[in-house]
Each structure stands twice: as C-alpha cells, then as structure tokens.
A and B are shown apart, each in its own frame.
Chain A
Amino acid sequence: MESTRPSAAHERGTNRFAAGLIVFAMLCWLALLPSAGPVAESSDACADAPVVLVHPQVRSRDDNVIAQIVRGLRERTHAAVGVCSIEDLPGSTLDSEGKAVVAVGENASAAATLIYNRAPVVPILVRQLPKETGSGISLFLDPNVYIQQLRALSPDVNVVTLIHRDDVPQSFIDTVRAAAAAHRLRFEAIGVATLRDAAVVVETVVRQAGPQDGIWLQGRVIGMNADILLPKIVASSWDRKVPVFTDEADYVARGLLFAVTHDYSDLGRSVADLIDSARQGIRYANGVKTVLNGRTATAIGIFLPTSQEKEFDDVYK
C-alpha cells in the first residue's frame, strides 16, 4: 500500500503544476476576451460581421451604452458583431445577404436601411418604427413601470403630468394616459418645442405642483439645457415637495427623485431575440434599471425602508 501512495512532496509538486496550468489558462482566456470598452471597430469589421450594429454619433458619456448593447447581442447571437457609427458606413450599398442589422435611433435606422438594403434592419430606441421595418424596440419604456414606481414611492400622488418633447408619438402619450388611469391618476401631458417653452412649462407646472402631483420630466426636455433647467426644477421640487422623475439616471444624480432607464445589455439580448423573431411592430424593452436619489426623497418627505431602497439598482445618497 505504501508503495502506491504518493509522497507529500510529490503531492505539493502536482498541486503547483495544476495551479500553474490554471493561471496560464486564465491569462489566455483574458487575452481572448473582447474589449469591454467603447466599440470602435473598423469599417471592415463592420461590413464583414454577420451582425451589424449601426449607431449615431453618441455623447461620450454614452459610449458605454453602445458597448452594453453589443455585449447583449453577442451573448445572445454568439456571433461577431460589427459596430459602425453612421460616419463609418460606406457611401454605397453593401452585400448584406444573410446579415442582421441593428440600428440605434431613427437616423441610424434610415442610414442602415439605405446601406444594408438586402438585410432586415431592426431599429431600437426609436420613437416609432420607421417604414419598411418589421419590428423594433421603442425609445420609451413601458409607462406602467414609471407609474408603479411613482405609486410605490408616493402613494399620495393623484396627478401625473408628463412634460415631453413635442415629437413624442401620440400613441405613447395615450399609453401613458392609460397607465395613469389604471392607477387612478389624473394625467396631463405638455409638449415643448424649445428651451424657452421647456423653461416656461417647468416654471408653471413645478411651481404650481404639490406633493400630490407627480411630474414626469422626459430627459430629452431637460437635456435641452440641463444647467439652466435642472437647478430650478430640483429647487422647486424640494421646496414644494413634488416628486419629479425622469428616464435619465444622470439627472437623478443631480437631484431628481428617481429614474427608470434601459438595461442596455438586456436591450442587446432583446434585439437579438427580435432578429430571428417573426414578431412585427414596436415593443418596449423588457429590462429596466431604477435609480433613486435618497437625499431628494428625504427632502420631499419620502422615507424609504432599507429593503425598499435595495430594490433600486442605484441609490444616490
């Protein structure tokens, strides 16, 4: 028996060899991992990949958004994803037979449809489906999620006012209205076209609102000039204890109560499912992320238990 039993020294040597192999394998795996940074592949990769993601020129802070979408696509399609900005696209049509093209936004969708004319283009984050496209994912999230979140934080709210850009489809407004009604909330939608309109509306609405009024301020409205609008909105919100929520996490960080935003990795996976799906029409994304500003919540009289705070993906203290 003793002769067949390995010695302790031999066991230690075997363990060291195994640990070395594991470390080597991990290094190789890490080397083969795709870059997690912003996608900036060449136009050739953009053209040759079986799945192509076409996106507009995005703000630098949103580079990570494109990367998350691509990661979701890869996870679900198990295929190489060519990422192209609109500027990277060639001037003429490409051989797109057998390719799947995903376009972010209306401009990218139009450009992709033009270039990849023989491939199906799936638009995402669009206000409504462009023509000649079968299916896509909306820019907007399901309004029920917002209403439910508002209800959860401010049960006393009885009015919801949506301040949106005037290019929002009426269908979405109707959906919101329906969602509000489902929660027995009165609903009002105000569209704005210019910065001055936005400021006047904000001045009018927020200064007249109270704790029972929930204000849904679209990010694209604040984004007209967040430096001007946001301080006043936050100040009025705090003064009048008005819950103001939005669809941009950054604005929550700067003082709004909460935001419901896309989970862009899930968005990638969803659009991957949509590529091979026979479904038609635009649909809301399934995955969302919720962000809460704890200090604003406290300022306007909302005191959340820890368990409820943990339901948010991010909480700014």
Chain B
Amino acid sequence: MSTNDQPPSTTSFLRQLLQVFLTLSLVIGLVAPVIIFLTSWHQIRIFSERTAQEIAAVFAGDVRYALLVASAEDAQAVVSNILKFPEVLSAEVVNERGERLAVGNARDLAAARRTFAIARVVTAESIGAPSALDEGQRTQVDLGRIRITVSLDRAYRTCFDAALYAAVQIVAVTLLLSLALIRVSRKMLAPLATLVQSLRSDASLPAVAACSPSEVHFIYRAIDAMRQRIADDNQRLVRYADGLETMVAERTRALEEARDQAESANRAKTLFLANVSHELRTPLQAIILHARLIGGGTGLDSARNSLSTILSASSHLLELIEQLLDLSKAESDHGLELSYSTFGIRDLVHEAASTIRATLAPGNTLTVHCCGDPGAIVSDRTRLLQVMYNLLRNADKFTTNGHITLTLDVTNDPDCVRLTITDDGIGIPQEQIDRIFEPFFQGKSAQGTVSRGIGIGLWVTKTIVDALGGRIDVSSTPGAGAAFRVEIPRVPNLLTARAAPQSPDGEQNTVAPGRPSSRGIRVLFGEDEAVIREAMSLFLRDAGYVLDECADGVSVLAMLQQDPGGYDVVVLDHRMPGRTGLEILTAMRDTLHLETPVILLTGNDTAELQEETARCGAVLIAKPVQPERLIEAIALAAGEAAATLTGPAG
C-alpha cells in the first residue's frame, strides 16, 4: 500500500468504539452517582428531620405528665423510649425553667460524624370550667422541651452506598453494552475487512458466515454483482479495443487506398492536362504549319495536302473538344443529355463502320458482321453512334496492321442487342482490365509507351452505355487483342438508366439544394424538332425536372410501355413522326390505362383536338409556349396528380 493509501486515522473502529464507551461509562459512572448521592442525601435529610420531628411530637405527648409532675423517672422512661430509635443519638427533657429532667445518650454518640438536633416545646392545654356543663376556658401551659439529636451517618452511608452501587451498575451495564455493541460491530466489520482484502486481489469473494448480519450478505451480493459487471465491462472493453484496432487498421488501409487513389487521380489529372495540352497543341501545330504553307503560296497539290491535313487536325480537335464536353456534361448535375428515338440498329452499325473505316490507321481493316436484323430499337442514336466510334477508334489505336471486327447480334435476352468490337492488337494487360473504364486512365502501347489521347474515351463510352440502360465489358489476351461487348436494351430500362450516370469522381448525380419544388419530378418529353427539344430540355432540367427526351412518337410509346409508372408528367408534341401526340394520349388512356398527366403541345389548335384532349384529361397548350409556362403547367399537373393519389386527407 502506498503512503496515499494510509487511512487518516490508524485507530480501528472497534478501538474507537471501546474508547467512547469507556469514556462514557467513566463519565456516567462518576456524574450519575454524584447526582444520585446529592439528591438522595437531600431527600434523606429532609425525611430524617421530619421523622425526628414526628418522634419528638409523639414523645412530647408522652412526656407531658412527667413534666407536670416533674417525674425524672417518667421522663427518663420517655427518653429511653426515644433512644430506642436507631438514629437517635441523644434525647433530653427539660422543664419550663430549662432544668434538665432527663437525658440519655446512645452508645455511638461519640462516633457520630453527621448529626442534627431538634427541640420541641412541650405544652399542655388546661381547661378551667366553672361547672360540669360549661365549655370552660382553655389555656396553654408551657411544660418544657424535648431535645433530640439524630445521627445522619447511616443515611449518609446509605446514600453513598446507593451512589456507589449505581456507579458500579452503570459502569457494568455500560461495559456490557459496549461489549455487546463491539461484538455486533465485529460481526459487521470482520466480513467487511475480509471483503476489502478480497477486493485487493482478483480472487473470488469468500463465503459469508451464515450468522453475519443481513446487511453484510447484501453488501457481498452487491459487490459480487458489481465485480461481475466490471468483469463483463472489461471484457467488452477488450473486445471494443480489439475491434477498434481492427477498425483503425481498416480505416487506415482505406485511407491509404483513398490516398493512393487520390494520388493516382491527381497523377491522372496531371497526365490528363498534359495530354490535353499535347493533344490540343499537336493538331494546332499542324494547322498552323500547313496554314502557313498555304499562305506561303505553295502549289495546288501541296495546298490540297495541307488543307487535308488541316481538316484532319481540325477533326481531331473537334473530337477532342467533344470528349471534353462529354466529360463536363457527365460531371454536371444533369448528366448526359439523352434523346430517344426509334431507329434501325443495323443501319447504325454500318454507318459507324463506314465512317470509321475511312479513318483507320494504315494496315488496319474493319469488318462488320450482322447476325440477322434485330430491327428498330429505341435509344439515343447519336450517343450509341458515339459509343461505336469510341470503341472502334480505341481498337484502331491499339492495333497495328490488324483486323477489327464489329459484330451485331442478339443476346439470350430478346430485349437487348449486342455489339462486339474485337481486334487483334496488343491487348490489355490483366492488371489494367479493371481500370480501363476509369477516367483519365491511359493504357500503354505495345512498346510500353503511353497511348495517345486524354484517357476519357472508354470512360465516356461506359458512361453513355450506362445512361442508355446497357452494359459494357471487356476481355483481352495480352498480345492477342481485346473484345469489347456492349449490350443495349431495345427499349431503355429507365430504372437502370437513371441510376447509372456518375461523375468522373464516382459520385452519383444528385439534386442540388435550393431548387424549385419541381425538383425530382420525372418528365417524358417527346418532340421531333431537335432545336426545340434541346432548348426546352435545358429549361426543364434547370427547373429541376428529371427529363427523358424522345424524338418520335414510337419512342415515346415504347418508353411508356417499358415503364408505365416511370413518369409523373408526359409532355408531347402533337405532330411527331411514328405516333402523333393525340395517338399516344389515346393509347395511354385506353390501352395502357395510364392516368399520368399529359400536356399536349401543338401548333394547330383545332376544336376537334381540343375536344379529344379534354376527353382524355390532358392539357392542350398552343405553340409557341414560353418555358416558364410549361414549367408551371408541369408542376401544376404533377401536383394535381399527387393530390388525387393521396386523396382529400393528404
């Protein structure tokens, strides 16, 4: 035990208890007997004096005759009788003249130490009556006195003995009480001392004696339970500590990974900027040089070659700029803007192949295989074309004197078509396969050099495929080429498509705060005029609507059939290719049984159209329409639909 553990008092409780009781017994044993002695001594003096007075009064009656006749013998007899009382030391009878008639002393007169004396006048009544019947005159005759001396020694001894006995009894009782209390206290404290000793070690608590007070049993049980709780808590803390360490390790590892990723991303961005700079400067250099050659008055053939080069460099610049625009759009809140239309996928494949074939690297060839005709699909034609361009250019980039194949076929899922672009180029190292769709990632060429470009082509491709509700994967054998497979739904799966767009940082597009209440309302917008559709789409997206665009009526109907409840409001141009707005509206109400609010835009506001529109419960707005009005009409229609669904109480 350290010095700080030393108790302030080194005297045990039992010792202190004993000291208190000894002091108490000493004080009470001294004070109480004194009080008893003084009280009893006072009382016994009064009592003795009264008794002596009564004795004197009694014997005063007896001694009257002796005084009357001056009989010393009779007086002596009275004195002798008085002396028979044990406390009377002496008695004396004197006549009215003060002459002693009789006197007597007890044997222990000389030994008496505490005495008191009383004297009583002895009188007699004399009645002088003239006749036997007269009341007569009464006179008092003084006959003498009787004096008695009484000893108080025995009374004193009695008082002293009483005080002494009281002292002894009080001390004895106090000591007995103290012993009893000490015994009881020991019964209480001994188990507690044992308990304290046990608590200093981890040993289990000893058994409590059955004769111990119930409070000791309670304390033991409570402390046992408390120790058990502490042990449980300790175990829990150990587990927590272990878990915490594991968690810290995992977090550390995650942070390290994040740090690595951040560093990698930083490096990628640095590389991206360097690439962008290089990719911008290189064609510009070519354009500048060839422009000066033309300006320098070169020959016609040379000028043609220079213009061709300028055109090629400009095309490359345009491609680069478009990729940067796609990157910025993908990173924006709106995500990629899609415009759905119905088109034949086979034609699109051939269009892409013919376009790319003219720009292939020397020595590379492109072959198109179409396994049957999948027919028309509903998708964004431009974006899908961009996907094929990117994949074909990528294959061309990493293939030297090789062969590139574009294959169109259907999958096991009849609702999808599959595009496969294979090459026999350098392939993709296995460790890079999982990263090639990351933004700014650039694979290495066969010679170990970093490839050309800015490293976002495959990332943009995957982003578009995801936005269209499809999926893309890649397989490769290094040195033997690679195969990219793209599966596109015939009709976009909107749930998949909307969840797909992600920013280059991996963050899902979310709605920014502070937008109007139209935020999150899903709108299907069908307009065949691209200039109108694209401009109005920008306004609607700025207003917070989640917008899907369609360029023809067939696409609109296909989108609604694919996901009947996927839109809160449908905005339709009346005059669209494939299906008119009114036909789509009629099909929604009569065939699809959709009560989705519909806003019909038309430039031909006829009464018949108005009547049909009203019958189908749609809103007819004549063109031209201001964006604010359309935004308000969509919000009003969506609010009324929500009120109808929730009912009056809602």
Interface residues of A (CB under 8 A from B): 55-59, 62, 65-66, 104-107, 125-127, 139, 167, 194-196, 199-200, 202-203, 219-220, 223-225, 228-229, 231-232, 247-248
**B589 CB to nearest A CB, Å:** 139
**A126-B133 Cα distance, complex, nearest whole Å:** 11
A139 touches B125 (CB 8 A): no
**A17-B128 Cα distance, complex, nearest whole Å:** 61
* Segment among B63-71, B198-206, B441-449 that sits at the interface with chain A: B63-71
B68 touches A219 (CB 8 A): no
**A200-B132 Cα distance, complex, nearest whole Å:** 22
- Give the nearest-CB partner of B134 in chain A: A56
**A21 CB to nearest B CB, Å:** 44
B125 touches A59 (CB 8 A): no
Cβ of A247: which chain B residues have Cβ within 8 Å of it? 132
B133 touches A105 (CB 8 A): yes
B328 within 8 A of A: no
Cβ of A167: which chain B residues have Cβ within 8 Å of it? 130
Contacts known (A225-B126, A225-B127); A199 close to B69, Cβ less than 8 A:
yes
**B60 CB to nearest A CB, Å:** 12
B131 touches A196 (CB 8 A): no
Cβ of A125: which chain B residues have Cβ within 8 Å of it? 131-133
- Give the nearest-CB partner of A264 in chain B: B133
**A57-B138 Cα distance, complex, nearest whole Å:** 14
Contacts known (A58-B133, A219-B132); A225 close to B124, Cβ less than 8 A:
yes
Contacts known (A57-B135, A195-B124, A199-B69); A228 close to B130, Cβ less than 8 A:
no
Which of A65, A66, A228 interacts with B64 by CB under 8 Å?
A228
**B96 CB to nearest A CB, Å:** 10
B129 within 8 A of A: yes
**A199-B124 Cα distance, complex, nearest whole Å:** 12
**A100-B251 Cα distance, complex, nearest whole Å:** 154
Which of B64, B126, B128, B134 interacts with A58 by CB under 8 Å?
B134
B136 within 8 A of A: yes
B141 within 8 A of A: yes
**A6 CB to nearest B CB, Å:** 60
Which of A59, A105, A194, A231 interacts with B126 by CB under 8 Å?
A194
Cβ of A105: which chain B residues have Cβ within 8 Å of it? 130-131, 133-134
**A167-B130 Cα distance, complex, nearest whole Å:** 9
- List residues 106-121 of chain B with CB under 8 A from any CB of chain A: none
Cβ of A57: which chain B residues have Cβ within 8 Å of it? 134-135
Interface residues of B (CB under 8 A from A): 64-65, 68-71, 124-136, 141
- Give the nearest-CB partner of B143 in chain A: A196
A199 touches B130 (CB 8 A): no
B141 touches A203 (CB 8 A): no
**A127-B132 Cα distance, complex, nearest whole Å:** 11
Contacts known (A195-B126, A196-B141, A223-B136); A228 close to B131, Cβ less than 8 A:
no
**A112 CB to nearest B CB, Å:** 15
Cβ of A228: which chain B residues have Cβ within 8 Å of it? 64-65, 68, 124
Cβ of A231: which chain B residues have Cβ within 8 Å of it? 65
A and B contact pairs by CB, cutoff 8 A, 8 listed: A104-B133, A106-B130, A195-B126, A196-B141, A199-B69, A228-B65, A228-B124, A248-B132
- Which of B70, B71, B124, B134 has the most A CB atoms < 10 Å from its CB? B134
Cβ of A203: which chain B residues have Cβ within 8 Å of it? 65, 69, 71
Cβ of A104: which chain B residues have Cβ within 8 Å of it? 131, 133
Contacts known (A225-B124, A228-B124); A199 close to B65, Cβ less than 8 A:
yes
Contacts known (A195-B124, A203-B71, A225-B126); A139 close to B132, Cβ less than 8 A:
yes
- Give the nearest-CB partner of A126 in chain B: B131
- Closest CB pairs A-B (n = 7): A199-B68, A195-B126, A203-B69, A105-B131, A58-B133, A199-B69, A57-B135
A223 touches B127 (CB 8 A): yes
**B133 CB to nearest A CB, Å:** 5
**B314 CB to nearest A CB, Å:** 170
B133 touches A225 (CB 8 A): no
**B267 CB to nearest A CB, Å:** 148
A200 touches B68 (CB 8 A): yes
Cβ of A66: which chain B residues have Cβ within 8 Å of it? 133
**B59 CB to nearest A CB, Å:** 14
Contacts known (A195-B124, A195-B126, A225-B124); A220 close to B132, Cβ less than 8 A:
yes
B135 touches A59 (CB 8 A): yes
**A65-B129 Cα distance, complex, nearest whole Å:** 16
**A224-B138 Cα distance, complex, nearest whole Å:** 9
- Give the nearest-CB partner of B130 in chain A: A106
- Give the nearest-CB partner of A104 in chain B: B133
**A199-B63 Cα distance, complex, nearest whole Å:** 13
**A105-B135 Cα distance, complex, nearest whole Å:** 12
**A104-B129 Cα distance, complex, nearest whole Å:** 13
Cβ of B64: which chain A residues have Cβ within 8 Å of it? 228
B68 touches A224 (CB 8 A): no
**B237 CB to nearest A CB, Å:** 109
**A219-B126 Cα distance, complex, nearest whole Å:** 14
**B70 CB to nearest A CB, Å:** 8
- Which of A219, A228, A232 has the most B CB atoms < 10 Å from its CB? A228
Cβ of B68: which chain A residues have Cβ within 8 Å of it? 195-196, 199-200, 228
A55 touches B133 (CB 8 A): yes
**A58-B132 Cα distance, complex, nearest whole Å:** 9
- Give the nearest-CB partner of B139 in chain A: A195
Cβ of B129: which chain A residues have Cβ within 8 Å of it? 220, 223
A139 touches B131 (CB 8 A): yes
**A120 CB to nearest B CB, Å:** 21
Known: A228-B124, A247-B132. 11 other contacts (CB 8 A): A56-B134, A58-B133, A62-B132, A106-B130, A107-B130, A125-B131, A125-B132, A200-B68, A223-B132, A224-B126, A225-B126
